[in-house]
């Protein structure tokens, strides 16, 4: 038996990537300039919200250094299975399938050192070698900044569009400008900006407190001529929902405040 040449292997992988992508209608990568602004929270809740609206949805967590989506979905103890040559994503429910780098890391507490080429290879495999069914939406959760991960997505998935998450204050705003410029340089369409942690309602007196300022995301969207998808207030219930692995968007009383209108807007923008 002759061994496959490296070139043959690469060509075959490229073909598998093309085949998989052909079955996915919309691919959205959640990005941010800064860390900790709520990308994973947004990615998880949008994915669950889209699935709740009846769309076949996939969630792919490519944050190798801090994958957190499985924990937020209560799936961190589930192990993935595989066929002879494909990984089978975890099921959150009938409509939502999830794959995360966390499943491939033996010990989730181990700090991981990945070089650029390894990361690129892992992300390509997450598309080529995962048994994604045909999907309406694939949401990708990425680490902060404009490093290897979003760059790989931009290069390997030319149809991917970005959702940029920011908090409203100036120090974050400076960084989303960089994210928007990155998207322009890599020819990735920006679906829009989400302003997260936007205002807080005092649980005692009901008064609005603009803890991290207010409106910076919307203003930047206007200035940079990209759509504004909406804002999500600071809500202690979001923190608890993330920690308990029960997505906030499933709470019928709360989600109308932030996530549901954004899910509707995304569906409109991607029809
Ligand atoms: N609107 C919100 N209200 C209250 N807490 C929030 C909100 N959005 C996110 N959080 C909390 O903020 C913390 C950071 O959120 P998250 O992990 O989603 O950020 P991230 O941008 O993905 O971080 P990283 O850059 O490390 O990947 C989490 O504890 C989450 O529960
Ligand atoms: Mg994250």
Report how far residue 221's alpha carbon sits from residue 49's, in angstroms, rounded to the nearest whole number: 23
Ligand 2 centre to CA of 262 (Å) is: 19
The Cα 139–Cα 49 span in angstroms is 11
Long-range contacts of 171-174 (CB under 8 A, 24+ apart): 171/34, 172/32, 172/33, 172/34, 172/37, 172/212, 172/216, 173/216, 173/217, 173/219, 173/220, 174/33
Q: pLDDT digits over 182-216, tens only?
A: 999 999 999 999 999 988 877 788 787 877 777 78
Cα distances from 121 to residues 28, 200, 205, 206, in angstroms, run 20, 41, 52, 50
Please tell me the predicted confidence (pLDDT) of residue 184.
97
Residues 75 and 82: their CA atoms lie apart, in Å, by 17
What's the pLDDT score for residue 135? 97
pLDDT digits (tens, 9 = 90+) for 65-102: 888 999 999 999 998 899 988 999 999 999 999 999 88
Within 13 Å and on the Cβ side, how many CA atoms surround 15? 6
Which ligand is located closest to the Cα atom of residue 165?
1
Nearby residues for ligand 2 (ion, Cβ within 5 Å): 39-40
27-38: pLDDT as tens digits: 999 999 999 999
Tell me, what's the pLDDT at 2? 62
**Residue 264 φ then ψ, to 5°:** -60, -40
- DSSP assignment string, 3-52: PPPHHHHHHHHHHHHHHHHHTEEEEEEEE-SSTTSSHHHHHHHHHHHHHH
Check residue 225 and give its pLDDT: 95
pLDDT digits (tens, 9 = 90+) for 134-181: 999 999 999 999 999 999 999 999 999 999 999 987 777 888 899 999
Give me the long-range contacts of 203-206 (CB less than 8 A, separation at least 24).
203/236
What pLDDT, on the 0 to 100 scale, is given for residue 1?
A: 53
Closest residue (by CA) to atom 11 of ligand 1?
A: 239
Give the ranges where 112-230 is alpha helix by DSSP (H): 116-128, 148-156, 170-185, 216-224
- The answer to whether the CB of 196 is under 6 A from ligand 1 is yes
- Single pTM value for the model: 0.94
* 238 ligand 1 Cβ < 6 A: yes
Give residue 40 CA to ligand 1 midpoint distance, Å.
7
């Amino acid at each position: 038996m002759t061994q496959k040449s490296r070139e043959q292997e690469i060509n075959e992988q490229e073909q598998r990537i093309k085949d998989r992508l052909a079955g996915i209608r919309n691919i959205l990568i959640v990005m941010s300039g800064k860390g900790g602004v709520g990308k994973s929270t947004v990615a998880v809740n949008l994915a669950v919200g889209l699935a709740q609206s009846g769309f076949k949805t996939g969630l792919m967590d490519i944050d190798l250094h801090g994958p957190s989506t499985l924990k937020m979905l209560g799936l961190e103890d589930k192990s993935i299975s595989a066929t002879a040559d494909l990984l089978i994503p975890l099921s959150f429910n009938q409509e939502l399938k999830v794959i995360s780098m966390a499943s491939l890391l033996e010990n989730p507490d181990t700090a991981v050192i990945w070089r650029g080429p390894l990361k690129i290879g892992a992300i390509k495999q997450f598309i080529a070698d995962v048994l994604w069914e045909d999907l309406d939406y694939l949401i990708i959760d990425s680490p902060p900044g404009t490093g290897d991960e979003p760059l790989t997505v931009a290069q390997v998935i030319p149809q991917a569009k970005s959702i940029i998450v920011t908090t409203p204050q100036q120090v974050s705003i400076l960084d989303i400008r960089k994210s928007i410029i990155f998207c322009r340089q890599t020819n990735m369409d920006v679906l829009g900006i989400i302003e997260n942690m936007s205002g807080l309602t005092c649980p005692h007196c009901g008064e609005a407190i603009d803890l991290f300022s207010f409106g910076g995301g919307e203003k930047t969207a206007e200035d940079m001529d990209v759509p504004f998808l909406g804002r999500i207030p600071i809500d202690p219930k979001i923190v608890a929902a993330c920690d308990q692995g029960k997505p906030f968007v499933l709470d019928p009383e709360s989600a109308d405040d932030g996530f549901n209108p954004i899910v509707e807007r995304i569906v409109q923008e991607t029809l």
